[in-house]
A and B are shown apart, each in its own frame.
Chain A
């Protein structure tokens, strides 16, 4: 069957069924190679599919929110109601709840933008034609993590000055012999593990999800179309049908990860703004 390509659009159809890879002469197991894209859009090598998707997502988010914020009415129409629902979901459900009445307003734009951007990118992993979650390439996750890292540290320093580092390294009321233990642990937790897990969580969930989808879809398609025997064909068909359940799970995970990234960002900003640890 080979790799199906749409003319003009250099994308890999997500069914890699090159036969004769191993001695078994059959199915090419989905692996990390399926997450590598090199060029393909006429530009340099780094202008690849995830890059185009990230740019596309940014454009989609900006355009949608610009359209949504034009001609606002006091009594909202259907579309405005939908937009306000999403906006309020982040504004009240995340920003207000986590950051509190006093200083949530300043961070609402970033949180709304962050949520929309991650969500759109994650949904691209389920969207036909694109079918690749951008953040399963870890570099894109690190980009967002650096932004969040800078924002919550700068927020802390701007609020407390150098006292911010004392606040975040040393919980109040710790006797001094314990400082030698507490300070390295707190440093590791606040300045190393936090951004590390923030990025890895987003990346890992999408990578794992996409791998599972690949296994079910390509495995099912291979068994159904290429393998011989009735049992194989039945199993392949069942696997393809079951992949819909996997897609539903992926829909949940994609949305959840966008939400969690946003909540954790808000949480980190809140903890650096807090008076004491």
Chain B
């Protein structure tokens, strides 16, 4: 059978990577939303909150980074 129309090429892994990143995207959004809310309520606590937020951000983001690594490896 002759194929007509555009042929989609590329790695299927990237679709999985995109799906996986949704989760950590939401997670990172929630973290910084909370920081903004907390800063609005108590501006002087911003420094302490940012310190914790970066750690939380790093932990959540690790999932996206794992997905990136697996999308290359698998």
Q: State the A residues within 8 Å of B (CB).
A: 32, 93, 97, 197, 200-201, 203-205, 207-208, 256, 259-260, 263-264, 267
A32-B72, A201-B61, A260-B55 provided; 20 other pairs, C-beta below 8 A? Answer: A197-B62, A197-B66, A200-B65, A201-B58, A201-B62, A203-B65, A204-B64, A204-B66, A204-B68, A204-B69, A208-B68, A256-B54, A259-B54, A260-B57, A263-B51, A263-B54, A263-B55, A263-B58, A264-B55, A267-B55
* Residue contact A200 to B69, C-beta cutoff 8 Å: yes
Q: Considering only CB atoms, which chain A residue lies closest to B62 in the complex?
A: A197
- Taking a contact as CB atoms under 8 Å apart, the answer to whether B66 and A200 are in contact is yes
- The CA of A59 and the CA of B42, in the complex, are separated in Å by 44
Query: Per DSSP, are chain B's interface residues mostly helix, strand or loop, or mixed?
Result: helix
Interface size class of B (residues with CB under 8 A): 10 to 19
Number of A-B contacts (CB under 8 A): 38
Instruction: Say yes or no: A260 contacts B54, CB within 8 Å.
Output: yes
Contact string, B41-68, partner A, CB cutoff 8 A, digits 1/0?
0000000000100110111011011101
- Bound Cα distance from A24 to B62, whole angstroms: 36
Q: A205–B68 Cα gap in the complex (Å)? A: 9
B9 to chain A, nearest CB (A): 10
Bound complex: CA of A190 vs CA of B20, how far in Å? 23
Contact between chains at B65 and A197 (CB < 8 Å): yes
Query: Shortest CB–CB separation between residue A39 and chain B, in angstroms?
Result: 24
> Measured between alpha carbons, how far is A203 from B51 in the docked complex, in Å?
22
